[in-house]
Amino acid sequence: MRGGVIGTGNRGTGHVGTLLTIAGVEITAVCDVDGTKAANAASLCEKAGRKPPKVYSGDATVYREMLDREKLDAVIIATYWDSHTSIALRAMKNGIYPGIEVPAALTVEDTWKLVETSEATGIPCMMLENWSFRQDNLAALNMKRLGMFGDIVHCHCAHSHDCIDHWFFENKTGDKRWPAEYLLKYNRDQYPTHSVGPIISWMDINRGDIFTEIYSSASASKGINAYFKREFGENHPNANLNYKQGDIVTSLLKTKSGKTLVINYDMQLPRPYSNRWLLEGTLGVYDEEKSSIYLRKSSPKYHEWEPWKPYEEKYNHKWWQADLSSQSHGGTDYVMLNQFVSSVRAKGPTPIDVYDSAVMTAIVELSGISIEKNAPVAFPDFTKGKWQTSKPYFAMDKSL
C-alpha cells in the first residue's frame, strides 16, 4: 500500500511509526506546514530502512499539491480539526482512501459533504476512531452479538479526561494551544468520538437502528478559570477570560427502536481518565468503569457483580490474538491501522464506514445547537434510509 501522511505533529508522527510496523506499507509522501516536522517524519522512514518519502511543506494548502501529484492508495489526515474535511474531500476526489483523525468534521454541513462525496466517488472514508478497536470493547461486542446481554436497551459513555494542562494549554506557561480557541468560542461536546465509537456497534446504529434526536445540557464553566488561578495566579492573562465551554456536557440521544444513550463531555475538571462505558440489556449489564459484568443467566450470585477480565479473555476478538502491548495506545492504534490498510489493499469497505464516521462527528455541532436552544434537535439520517436493511459488519468475528 502506498500511503501518505498529512499532519506530522505528535499524532501524525505516531501514525508514521505504527504504519512502519505493518508489512507491505510504503510511506511515499509526508506533509506538514512545518517543514521541520515533515522532515522528522521522513527521517523515521529512512531509519526504518525504507525509501525516504517525498516531503511537502509550506502554507496550509500545500496538501493539495501532494494529493494531486502523488500516486497514493491512502492518506492519513492528522492535521488541526478545521482542516480535516477539506483534505478528505480532495483525497476522495483523487481516488485516495482518507483515514481521518477525530473528529472528521466540525459541522453537520461538512459531515454531509463527506458522506455525499464518498457515495459519488465510490471511495470509502474512515474516521480513525481508535477506541472502537480496544480489546475490551471488541470482547463486549462479541458477547453482545452472541446475545448474552439480551436486547440492548441503554448505553452510557464519556470522555472524562483532564486536558487543561496539556491539551488545551501549555502546562508550564499556561499559554493557549490551538484547541483552546474552541473553549472560548463554543459550548458543546467538543470530543465525543472516543466515547461513542464502541457504542455505534453495540447499539447497531446505521445497522437496523438510528439516532433520531439529541438533547444536550451544559454546566457552568468554572474549571478553566479555577485552574489558572490555582496554578498561575489571579493575574495570568487566561485566568479571567470568559470561556463559553461548560465543564460538563450531558447529551441524551434516542433511537428509532427506543434505545437511549447518555454521553458526557468532561475534559476541564481535575479527575483521573475514564470512559465510563456501560452496556445494559434485558439479560445483563457490562460496566467498564467498574471492570465488572452481571449476566442474569450465568452470574453465580444473584444481583452481584463479577470481574470483567475473565470474560474479556474468553471472548477475545480475533484481532487481538497477539501481544500488542508495546504498540501505541497498547496496540489499539496498530489494530485500527492494520485493518484500515487491509481494506485499502482489498479495495473494499473500511472497518468504520462514512456513515458511522458521520454519526460520531455530527454530535459535535448538534450538541451545541441543542444547548443553545435548550431543546432536543433532530439527528440526521446520513444513510438516507439504508439503515433499515444494512447488516452489522464492523469487526465481525467468525471465530466465535
Of 102, 129, 156, which marks where a domain is finished? 129
CATH code for position 301: 3.30.360.10
Q: What percent of the chain has pLDDT above 70?
A: 100
CATH number for 6: 3.40.50.720
Q: Is the pLDDT of residue 323 over 90?
A: no
Residue 149 CA to residue 140 CA, distance in Å, equals: 9
Looking at every residue in the chain, the average pLDDT score rounds to 97
Are 244 and 300 in the same domain? yes
Assign 400 a pLDDT band (cuts: 50, 70, 90). confident
Per the structure, how many domains does the chain have?
2
Q: Please tell me whether residues 183 and 308 are part of one structural domain.
A: yes
Whether 282 and 383 share a structural domain: yes
Segment 365-376 mean pLDDT? 98
User: What's the predicted TM-score (pTM) here?
Assistant: 0.97
pLDDT-derived band at 325, boundaries 50, 70, 90: confident
Q: Quickly state the pLDDT bin for 332 (edges 50, 70, 90).
A: very high
Domain termination residue (choose one: 112, 129, 146): 129
Residue 335 lies in a domain: no
Under the banding of pLDDT at 50, 70 and 90, the label for residue 172 is very high
Between strands 97-100 and 284-287, the pairing is unpaired
Other C-beta atoms within 10 Å of 57: how many?
A: 17
pLDDT in tens, 173-215: 999 999 999 999 999 999 999 999 999 999 999 999 999 999 9
Count other Cβ atoms within 10 Å, centred on residue 302. Answer: 7
Residue 217 carries which side chain, given as an amino acid letter?
S
